[in-house]
Chain A
């Protein structure tokens, strides 16, 4: 990202449809879609940029507290008050499996990296892992080491992080067969990993976020200013790990500087408690969900910024690609593709690119991967822009 990162403060869309509180809203892996779940026992799939409600998943008997989607967008997992973890097929909307074993409400659920395991954390003071590949509905692992309800989960390639109301953030390292417990002394509401994986951000119920070094367990920073005393509100770090984001119980969203813990920005996002904050995996975009039943999509305040970025991309392309700046281009391209609504503000000649992609939703992930390389290829042939686009069309559609 560029040096001075923009904060997503401009409301781009409001997703309405949930009746009652929305308990969680999450981006999918590539950030093109988002999922939400709430008190109305449904899970909803949205296109946050266009504000379209795509699908509703109904099968839960109680409120749905958390939802997560596999990296390949084929499966969902969700959990909630009915003490089960649901494993869904995204396209059909059928429940493939229900994992039973939690003795009480399930607070959080996550897929692992390969989407082979679902890990869930519940009020029954346990973290359980469920196998998606076998037909068993029994947990393959249960860690009943907590003293109170486990509120939040984070997964890395080989670790499971869980934050509990007993004040501990526990890291279960599968590779080493070791459990590291960092006791924070305050009930932990939400745990969230930094993008470099070195730090963990723990939202505590004393209205404080705490940033811990994962290797040493040292408290690096505390972030205060918001209110978080009785509701589960999420917190996370921005893509560049430069800022810390958290919702507040008064409906506002806070941004802190990572290093000096100063409140950079806070604005009232919702009329009621902000339950969840999810940051776009690539782009400067954020979704928040609230008790007031809405999900809001937040964008960088200056949409021209994205356009400028895109222009830069174009110049890079036209100037010619070399192997060395290829990753740079790719990054920019991803950035460009990741943020679609802002493209509407672009000038006409640049918009045609977006038209291409708008036409077919299915090609998106693939397109993003191939886009940069193909452009580079075409550039090397010294084609004009129009011709290049046409070729591009030809090659890929």
Chain B
């Protein structure tokens, strides 16, 4: 810069460039403005802008300092004082007080003397209210009002209470109380704590404490006092008097640098002395103290969130014991001294030192032995006759006696009897003694009207007893299953109105009133539906008296209204026992509550509930088995678990997207609610035992059927029923096929209750499950039926062949058995759906039997052509018709022996049937199968399970297989794949629709069938053939598809569901 300047000659004064000039000046001015300027007197102050320049406003507009300190305003602010003419409005005479003559600083000085909550801390607006009130007063004085004179404060009070205060007041808060959620249960909690403490105390003494015990009373009061203190302390900190109890020097704090140990020590001390009386509080304290030191700072805890009991450090319990200070030994020493009789001195010293009662208490609690209470002492006065109405009820009623002639006496006797019934025998005794001389009361001591009195008393007691017993009898009442007005009322929680007793001719008015009150108080109880479970679960079964008391406790707890003061059963217990019992009851009630909640979920086993009860107050996690449960039960339980259930579950589309999975429910309406939507078809626990059993019964019925062939009508019905049985049994394993039957066959079954009674039972349970599904499908079924018909019309009619079966009787038998055996374990969907297809055809062609046989032959020929037997289970192949039946039977035999492989074998047999359609597919599948079967156990399950899971129908399964194989075959194009799938869609829908048709056809068919099982076995085969034929003619189908396009759109949803499960099976096999 300087070198540059040397080369030039400058003339004149250079115009100061602002940027340069200001650089140095800015700092200076800034410093000045910040510090010095304020200190200078006003006339010396120069106003500069932030650049440090003085601004020239113009010679006539203020020069360098226009406005008020270079601002636009004036001293008063933005609005300068406006001129007010004194012509109309006279200058007002200001009220003068001392403040108007004082300077500002003097004012502040004055004000500092007055005590008031500064507005800053005026949380509840008391000061603000006061100020506002004063202001209002002031204004009121000035204002000319209609009412002359000053309006009293009571009339005009400004609304100064903030809305928060108002709300709080509405909620029950009063001035001076702490703003704490004053729960209704706080009192309850206090009592509970007290009870606990009492219990603990009594344990310490190892003697039953009594209510009259002065120490106890004192203890109670102390505690109450402490409770009060606690409550008060929530508002304002209370100065806690800490008596010096240790032997450290004055001011020495051993825990100065380790506050956590102090807490520990306190805990232990309190554990020793008060035994959990203030445990919760101390634990809370410990949490705060210990956490504040080491825990990481956390955000996100709201101010309202308190660390509650759940936040207790569950892990630290083990560590507490490890820490031991010398304090302990000191205490022990004291105890020793105690034993040696040095106590008295110590006592005296301490008493003089710490006169506070609490201190005294805490220190000397373990020094005094309580006064010895005689063992036979009862803390309560026992009445000679208690209100045990039940006993009275047991004794036989005195004979009916006519009322005495004297009406006065009658009324009196009536009234007296009612009173006695209410108040107990004691009343009678008392009045008898009192009125010995009174002739009016002679009926008491066997005089005139004594008999009538006895009778009346009995009646009254009966009535009274009924009333008392009534709520206890709820359970027995519930056995009445019919819903009457009473039971409904009971469930809703209304107390049924007492019927006016017929026998009491003239009830006394006073009694009536009492009764009414009694009724009223009981009118609003908790509904019995709530009590129900409580009643059912008796936690104190082994002690009926205790159970009784427990029930009463529950009743009191659940019921509103007046409480009965007589705690008859528990009165003979000591105070401690009662307290303990009450704690027990509370715990049990709580457990029951919990259990009840759990009960709402059906799957919650009773086991766990028992656990809870067994654990009583202490809720350990449910792992403990109560010792009561025997090994056998345990085994049963073990057998029961694990239980597997499957549900539909709809993942959200975005979840699928994020998991890179296509949404299985894409474009579908939202699923049904869970309660309804348990899919029967997906329950697939193969119940082998049951199946075999049904097999046997089936055989039995079949035998009887053969015997009673003279009545074709009945037998046919029997067949239907037995069929349904098996079908319903199979439903365990597969999709329910016989939907119509499941619903409607009940009627026909009832006609033959003896023969199929067993099946009936089975069926009923099953059909209940299937009914819901069936209903769902009914809707879709109707539509599909029509679709199937439409498709079926395009079918080329089967050429009728005049081949009558040359099957001998023995062969028929084998066919029977084979059909039966192969159908039950493995036939599943194949058999049924196949049959169904056939029956659909049977609808079309009247001559169905004929057709069946012809087709079976055709089928057989088909079979002989195709090379089969890839799977290890099916070794027999290339056999003529006769041999084939045997083959199936042998297959079934194998199935019987090797139940595990049943599924796979059936699968393979399916496959071989399917195989003709595409050899390539078949080969892949079979090789896949072989691989599957040769795998390890786990894998075997795998290969088997999809079969069992998702055996929806034949077409579908085939489809899935193909899908799998096509996936495997990478060379194949996608278009072909799609074509396949399309074709299959058609097939599946077709088969389904034909199912529906088939149900109708079957009855007719079966009634005219000579050998139903034979027919069925052949049915199945022929149907296979049919479906295959359909597959082979895609062109026809596609033509039709165009026709029924709109319908297919609707079926699409069905298909998609299938394809989802299909993908599952293929995926699982992978």
**Residues of chain A whose beta carbon lies under 8 Å from any beta carbon of chain B:** 19-21, 39-42, 56, 58-62, 81-82, 84, 98, 112-114, 116-117, 129, 131, 133, 140-141, 143, 145, 147, 157-158, 165-169, 172-187, 198-199, 204-207, 210, 212-213, 215-219, 228-231, 272-273, 291
Contact = CB atoms under 8 A, between A and B. Distances in A.
Contacts of A98: 300
A140 B654 contact: yes
Given A58-B297, A272-B315, A207 B623 contact: yes
Nearest to B1065: A176
A117 B657 CA distance: 10
Contacts of A186: 622-623, 641
Given A19-B295, A117-B659, A219-B642, 9 more contacts: A62-B301, A112-B659, A114-B660, A173-B649, A177-B649, A179-B649, A180-B646, A215-B942, A216-B941
Given A59-B299, A172-B649, A184-B641, A140 B315 contact: no
B964 to A, nearest CB: 15
B938 A183 contact: no
Contact of B664 (A175, A181, A198, A217): A175
Given A20-B315, A174-B661, A175-B1063, A42 B296 contact: yes
User: Which 3 A/B pairs are nearest by Cβ-Cβ distance?
Assistant: A61-B298, A217-B644, A179-B649
A98 B313 CA distance: 25
Contacts of B655: 117, 129, 140-141, 174
B298 A272 contact: no
B96 to A, nearest CB: 60
A215 B643 contact: no
A178 B649 contact: yes
Given A229-B620, A229-B624, A180 B645 contact: yes
Contacts of A112: 658-659
A62 B311 contact: yes
Contacts of A58: 296-298
A129 to B, nearest CB: 5
A131 B622 contact: no
A150 to B, nearest CB: 15
B598 interface: yes
A178 B645 CA distance: 10
Contact of B665 (A19, A56, A177, A210): A177
A371 B1063 CA distance: 39
Contacts of B298: 41, 58-62, 82
Residue of B300, B311, B645, B1061 contacting most chain A CB atoms (<10 Å): B300
Contact of B659 (A174, A210, A273): A174
Contact of A205 (B623, B640, B1067): B623
A298 to B, nearest CB: 22
Contacts of A116: 658-659
B133 to A, nearest CB: 44
B644 A181 contact: yes
Nearest to A156: B659
Contacts of A175: 661, 664, 1063-1064, 1067
A155 B664 CA distance: 18
Interface stretch (B482-490, B523-531, B601-609): B601-609
B812 to A, nearest CB: 39
Residue of A60, A143, A219 contacting most chain B CB atoms (<10 Å): A60
A81 B658 contact: no
Interface string B605-629: 1011000000000001111110000
Contacts of A291: 315, 318
Contacts of A62: 298, 301, 311
Contact of B300 (A84, A117, A273): A84
Nearest to A157: B659
B651 A141 contact: yes
Interface string B678-694: 00001000000000000
Contacts of B598: 147
A155 B661 CA distance: 14
B739 to A, nearest CB: 23
A114 B623 contact: no
A218 B647 CA distance: 18
A210 B1063 CA distance: 29
Contact of A178 (B604, B647, B652): B647
Contacts of B157: none
Given A60-B298, A147-B601, A215-B941, A176 B1063 contact: yes
Contacts of B621: 165, 187, 205, 229-230
B658 A140 contact: yes
A217 B645 CA distance: 9
A181 B945 contact: no
A59 B1067 CA distance: 42
Interface residues of B, number: 62
Nearest to B597: A147
B1068 interface: yes
Given A40-B296, A206-B625, A229-B620, A215 B945 contact: yes
A213 B938 contact: yes
Interface string B314-338: 1100100000000000000000000
Given A20-B313, A141-B652, A212-B642, A181 B938 contact: no
Nearest to A22: B315
Contacts of B620: 229-230
Contacts of A184: 641-642
Nearest to A57: B296
Given A20-B313, A129-B655, A183 B661 contact: no
Given A117-B659, A187-B622, A21 B315 contact: yes
Contacts of B601: 147, 166
Contact of A133 (B650, B658, B682, B1060): B658
Contact of A176 (B604, B941, B1064): B1064
B315 A179 contact: no
Interface in B739-796: none
Contacts of B674: 145
B646 A179 contact: yes
A164 to B, nearest CB: 12
A42 B298 CA distance: 9
Contacts of A140: 652, 654-655, 658
Contacts of A167: 605, 608, 641
Contacts of A41: 295-296, 298
Contacts of B313: 20-21, 39
B646 A178 contact: yes
Nearest to A145: B674
Residue of B605, B646, B674, B1067 contacting most chain A CB atoms (<10 Å): B646
Contacts of B318: 272, 291
Given A62-B301, A98-B300, A198 B938 contact: yes
A56 B1064 CA distance: 44
A198 B909 CA distance: 27
B414 to A, nearest CB: 58
A61 B291 CA distance: 11
B515 interface: no
Contacts of B294: 19-20, 40
A117 to B, nearest CB: 4
8 contacts: A20-B313, A21-B313, A39-B313, A84-B300, A166-B603, A182-B642, A182-B644, A217-B644
A178 B950 CA distance: 13
A273 to B, nearest CB: 7
A146 to B, nearest CB: 10
A61 B651 contact: no
B311 A180 contact: no
B642 A217 contact: yes
A129 B654 CA distance: 10
B643 A183 contact: yes
Nearest to A227: B623
B637 interface: yes
A291 B645 CA distance: 36
Interface string B157-173: 00000000000000000
B646 A181 contact: yes
Nearest to B943: A215
